[in-house]
Amino acid sequence: DAAINRIAAGEVVERPASAVKELIENSIDAGATRIAIDIADGGKTLIRVTDDGYGIAAGDLSLALSRHATSKIDGSDLLNIHTFGFRGEALPSLGAVGRLTITSRVPGADAASIRVAGGKLEAVKPAALRAGTVVELRDLFFATPARLKFMRTDRAEAQAISDTVKRLAMAEPAVTFTLRDVSGGGEGRVTFRADRENGDLFDALHARLARVIGREFAENALQIDATREGIRLYGYAALPTYSRGAAVTQYLFVNGRPVRDKMLTGALRAAYFDFLSRDRHPAAALFIDCDPTLVDVNVHPAKSEVRFRDPGIARGLIVSSLRHALAEAGH
C-alpha cells in the first residue's frame, strides 16, 4: 500500500509547488477565508499551510490519509465535481513521500493531530490549535531519493510555489493569502500577501488582479462577461497596447481551477491575432464557468488540463467576446 501511494504520489506531486497547490485547494474546499503558506528551502524541507476552514474531526484524521478517501464525492457522481478535490489522493500521496503532520480542530471539539512519514501512519494524538487546520509537510521526497534528484534549485522551486499561490489567489479574491519564506528559521519574510478583496465579483477580481499581476495590467484591462450555450466567460483582458515585453501574462481558470490548456491559449492568441508581434503576447485573466458535466477535469491527477465536451463553444466564446471588447475599445 505504501508502494502504491509512492507511485501515485509521483503523479500528484511532481514538485513542491504541486504539494502547495493540493494543500491550498483543500483549504479552499474547507471554506477557509485566510490561508497562510510557510515554506523553507524552496519547499523542499518545509511546506506548511494553515487555514481557518471547518477542520477535520479527530475521528476522521486517519481516514483523510487513506487512499481514495474523500469527503467530497460519494463515488456515484464523478462527472459532477464542484470542489477542487475529488480523488482523495493528495494527502496519502504526500504522506508517502514526505513527513506529513495534520493538526486540526472542528468547532466544539478538541484539536488533534496525526503524523505519517514515508507511508508509516502514527496514532492520532491530542494537540493544541484554536481553529482550522495546519498541514505540515517536511522533507518532501525523502522517501523517494530518485525524485529528490529532479528538484530544481531552492530559488526555482520557491518561484514555482509563488506562481501557484498567485494563480490560486486570483481565483479566490475573497480569501486572504500570505506566503512566507521561513528558510533558516525565525519569523521569516513575507514574499506575497493579498488581503481579502471586497465588493461584487468584478470589483473584487479587478482589485485582486491589480494586487497579483500589477496596477498597470488592471488599468489597461477590459472587462469581459459573455455567456454562450451554458458557458460563461468572464474576467479581464488587457488592451493590445499593454505590453510586458516577452513576459507571458495569461491566467486561465475553468470552474475556479487554474488550467494550462493549449486550446484555450490558442483561442486567446486567435482573438489578439491582428495585434500580435513577436515580442507581444496577449495578457488576460479569464474564467470559464460551466456545468461540470460539460468539462472533464479528470484528465490528469494534477488537474491542470481540461477537456471540453464541445471545445468549439469555449473557443468561439473566447475569440468572439475578446474581439468584440477590443473593437469596442477602438482596436
Q: Considering only residues 76 through 135, tell me which ones interact with Mg ion, judged by CB under 5 A.
A: 85, 90
The values of phi and psi at residue 116, to 5°, are -140, 130
Distance between terminal CA atoms of the chain? 59
The answer to whether 321 contacts ligand ADP (rule: CB under 6 A) is: no
Helices 154-171 & 16-29, crossing angle to 10 degrees? Answer: 20
Q: Which residue is nearest to ligand ADP (CB)?
A: 85
13's contact among ligand ADP, Mg ion, none, with CB below 5 to 8 A by partner kind, is: none
Q: Which of 5, 16, 17, 27 binds ligand ADP (CB under 6 A)?
A: 27
The values of phi and psi at residue 210, to 5°, are -60, -40
The answer to whether 88 contacts ligand ADP (rule: CB under 6 A) is: yes
The answer to whether 30 contacts ligand ADP (rule: CB under 6 A) is: yes
> For residues 85 and 28, what is the distance between their CA atoms, to the nearest angstrom?
10
Residues 6+ apart with CB under 8 A from 97: 6, 9, 13, 118, 140, 141, 142, 143, 144, 147
88's contact among Mg ion, ligand ADP, none, with CB below 5 to 8 A by partner kind, is: ligand ADP
Going by C-alpha positions, the residue among 208, 260, 271 that lies closest to residue 238 is: 271
144's contact among ligand ADP, Mg ion, none, with CB below 5 to 8 A by partner kind, is: none
Which three cell numbers mark 218?
A: 488592471
Q: Which of 46, 81, 90, 151 binds ligand ADP (CB under 6 A)?
A: 90
State the amino acid at position 215 in one-letter form.
R
Q: Which of 16, 42, 43, 85 binds ligand ADP (CB under 6 A)?
A: 85
The answer to whether 258 contacts ligand ADP (rule: CB under 6 A) is: no
The answer to whether 95 contacts ligand ADP (rule: CB under 6 A) is: no
The answer to whether 81 contacts ligand ADP (rule: CB under 6 A) is: no
Q: 263, exposed or middle or buried, with CB in 10 Å at 0-12, 13-18, 19+?
A: middle
Task: Select from 83-91, 121-129, 197-205, 210-218 the region that touches ligand ADP (CB under 6 A).
Answer: 83-91
The answer to whether 255 contacts ligand ADP (rule: CB under 6 A) is: no
The answer to whether 27 contacts Mg ion (rule: CB under 5 A) is: no
> For residues 238 and 224, what is the distance between their CA atoms, to the nearest angstrom?
10
Question: Residue 179 half-sphere exposure, CB side, CA atoms within 13 Å?
Answer: 23
The answer to whether 133 contacts ligand ADP (rule: CB under 6 A) is: yes
Residues at the site binding Mg ion, with contacts judged by CB under 5 A? 26, 85, 90
Residues at the site binding ligand ADP, with contacts judged by CB under 6 A? 22, 26-27, 30, 51, 53, 55-56, 64, 70-72, 85-91, 133
